[in-house]
Amino acid sequence: MSVFFAALGGTILLASFAIGFGLLLTGIDRRVAARMQARVGPPLLQPFTDVRKLFAKQNIIPANAIPWLFNAMPIIALASSIAILLYLPFGSFAPVLGAFGDVILVLYLLIIPSLALVLGGFASGSPYATVGAQREMVSMIAYELPLAVTVISIAWRLHAAHVAEPFSMLTLMQTPVWDVVGPLGSTALLILLVVMAWVTPGELSKIPFDSPEAETELAGGILAEYSGRNLGLFALAQAVKTVAVAAFGIILLLPWNLSPFLGLTMVAAGIADLVFFALKVLFVVSISVTVVRMMMARFRITQVVGLYWLVLGGLGALAIFLLMADTSYVPGMI
Amino acid sequence: MKLTKALNRSLWAFHFNSGSCNGCDIEIVATLTPRYDLERFGVKLVGSPRHADVLLVTGPVTSQMADRLRRVYAQMPGPKVAMVIGTCGLSGGIFSTSYNLAGPVDQIIPVDVYVPGCAPRPEAIIQGVVTVIAKLERLEVGERND
Ligand code: SF4
């Protein structure tokens, strides 16, 4: 029973933190983007205003839509984005449900918000949303390969170094894979870092990978028919997912905590690590989302597949070979 | 469906060309450039009428576009505002004697704010947006009073 209540409390706490932090990240992203274009930009809390407005607006269900599916998908998208967070360690805080799932489960959970978007798009009965949903499916299939390659090769390297439970999220956070590898392995990890930096905007459907939502040619694509509260729920889901995806990348490849360096303990360590983690999330989002989206134009969907499968998949394969070579020289330092 | 402060600070605009010469449309784009930066006030151009709070209509409404304009307006979730940009939409402008005219815009849909000019300068369009916000604030106060 107490486990249940701990999980419930943890979920509520995490959900409110992630929604607030995610919306703030969106605000920072918009502000920084504006500054990069020599504009002043919106207030930092603009996304909060936007969501509040959307919740106060009329919620239209198109005549062509399948109402229950159309209305259920925004809720599922938000719920599943929050569910991802339950399996991720934040700073030195262990995941709420860490005992029940590992990195493979998180890989699957990461798909569900996008899947909810796809179903919602198909259920809206609009040709724009249908085309958007098809593109979203294609880009999901595309970025899944380099993402899986990254996860598997890191976990495999930890396994080769005889780390216990290499697939557990907590292990990944507490045993930075960089400490295990030799020089060849470090090169491989740098390559994987580049791969993850490209997977992140893809998962978040940001420019240059925003062809599912292409405003200019698809009128908002997958979200074209959504309005009011449902659109607001999708905005919240997107905010939470931004935190989750960035955190996932950080746990895989930038997992250090601050407290061991500062020699902090107990509460101070927890707070310092959490703040440091939040800063790392901000850093990842600024680089992988803001800078990339300001620099580039949108890829066509065929180019997305080519980039993810051939270029990044190829880089991932190279990284695996380097890690294998690394294992035979430096079987593990732990 | 309530008027809120949040609405005034986050007006999302959908741009509808009902047969304009493209002059007004270019001025709208100019208004969104870094020089004027309407995003400071939360104004954003969106791709779908379902996401929009403000409908920006340019042009005199040709008979082909009348029905489309009516439908796009109906597709927007309330509370919503319609804004006419350019003399064409106000009165027909230089196209007022054309055989192919169904409007001015206010014959087709209810209009809240008119921005005259051929084409209006970005400053005039911003003045129009401010008028929209002022009108919404007035309505909001009225709603609170009843
Ligand atoms: S008002 Fe002038 S600039 Fe605008 S659409 Fe009409 S003719 Fe063109």
CA dihedral (B69, B70, B71, B77) positive or negative: positive
DSSP, collapsed to helix, strand or coil, labels residue A96 as coil
Q: What percent of chain A has pLDDT over 90?
A: 3
Interface test with A, best of B9, B40, B50, B140 (most A CBs within 10 A): B50
Residue B11 CA to ligand 1 center (angstroms) comes to 24
Q: Provide CB contacts within 8 A for A153, sequence distance 6+.
A: A188, A192, A316, A319, A320, A323
The domain total for chain A is 1
| For range A25-46, the mean pLDDT | 88
CB-neighbour burial class of residue A106 (10 A; exposed 0-12, middle 13-18, buried 19+) = buried
> Which of the pair, A206 or A248, is modelled with greater confidence?
A248
DSSP, collapsed to helix, strand or coil, labels residue A285 as helix
CA nearest ligand 1 atom 6, residue: B88
CA-based nearest distance B89→chain A, Å: 24
Residues from chain B that touch A34, judged by Cβ atoms under 8 A, are: 37, 39
Residue appearing with tokens 């909810």: A116
**Would you state the pLDDT for residue B146?**
53
CA-based nearest distance A143→chain B, Å: 26
CA distance A282 to A26: 10
Q: Residue B77: which of A37, A46, A228 has the nearest Cβ?
A: A228
Q: CA of A294: how far to CAs of A221, A279, A291, in Å?
A: 21, 21, 5
- Residue B102 is classified by DSSP as -
Does B29 contact ligand 1 (Cβ within 6 A)?
A: no
Is residue A334 one of the residues assigned to a domain? no
86-125 of B, contacting A, C-beta below 8 A = none
Amino acid letter, residue B33: T
Question: Could you tell me the pLDDT band of residue B84, with boundaries at 50, 70 and 90?
Answer: very high
Residue B66 CA to ligand 1 center (angstroms) comes to 17
Identify the bridge partners of residue B17 per DSSP, sorted by sequence position: B58
Residue B93 CA to ligand 1 center (angstroms) comes to 7
- How large is the ipTM? 0.85
Contact B77 A223 (CB under 8 A): no
CA dihedral (A68, B77, A206, A244) positive or negative: negative
CA-based nearest distance A211→chain B, Å: 13
CA distance A119 to B24: 38
| For range A292-312, the mean pLDDT | 84
Say if residue A39's pLDDT is above 50.
yes
Is residue B146 one of the residues assigned to a domain? no
- Nearest Cα to A113, choosing from A138, A92, A84, A141? A84
Tell me the CB-side half-sphere exposure of residue A106, using CA atoms within 13 A.
30
CA distance A236 to A77: 9
User: For residue A287, how many other CB atoms are within 10 A of its CB?
Assistant: 14
Is residue B10 one of the residues assigned to a domain? yes
A35/B contact by beta carbon, under 8 A: no
CA distance B66 to B71: 9
Entry pTM: 0.87
Contact A53 B7 (CB under 8 A): yes
Residue appearing with tokens 């919306």: A23
CA distance B38 to B51: 17
Tell me the H-state helices in chain A. 2-36, 46-56, 67-85, 103-123, 127-160, 169-174, 183-203, 215-218, 228-253, 259-262, 266-285, 292-295, 301-306, 313-329
| For range A68-79, the mean pLDDT | 89
| For range B49-73, the mean pLDDT | 90
Is residue A331 one of the residues assigned to a domain? no
Residues A224-280 have pLDDT tens digits of: 888 888 889 988 998 999 888 888 888 888 887 777 777 767 777 778 888 888 888
Residues A118-170 have pLDDT tens digits of: 888 888 888 888 888 888 888 888 888 888 888 888 888 888 777 777 777 77
Is residue A333 one of the residues assigned to a domain? no
DSSP, collapsed to helix, strand or coil, labels residue B40 as helix
Say if residue A74's pLDDT is above 80.
yes
The domain total for chain B is 1
First to last CA, chain B: 16
First to last CA, chain A: 38
Instruction: Give helix A127-160 / helix A313-329 axis angle, nearest 10°.
Output: 10
Residues from chain B that touch A214, judged by Cβ atoms under 8 A, are: 47
Residue-range definition of the domain harbouring residue B24: 5-138
Contact A224 B39 (CB under 8 A): no
Residue-range definition of the domain harbouring residue A53: 2-325
Is residue B40 one of the residues assigned to a domain? yes
Q: CA of B110: how far to CAs of A64, A197, B51, B113, B140, in Å?
A: 26, 48, 19, 10, 19
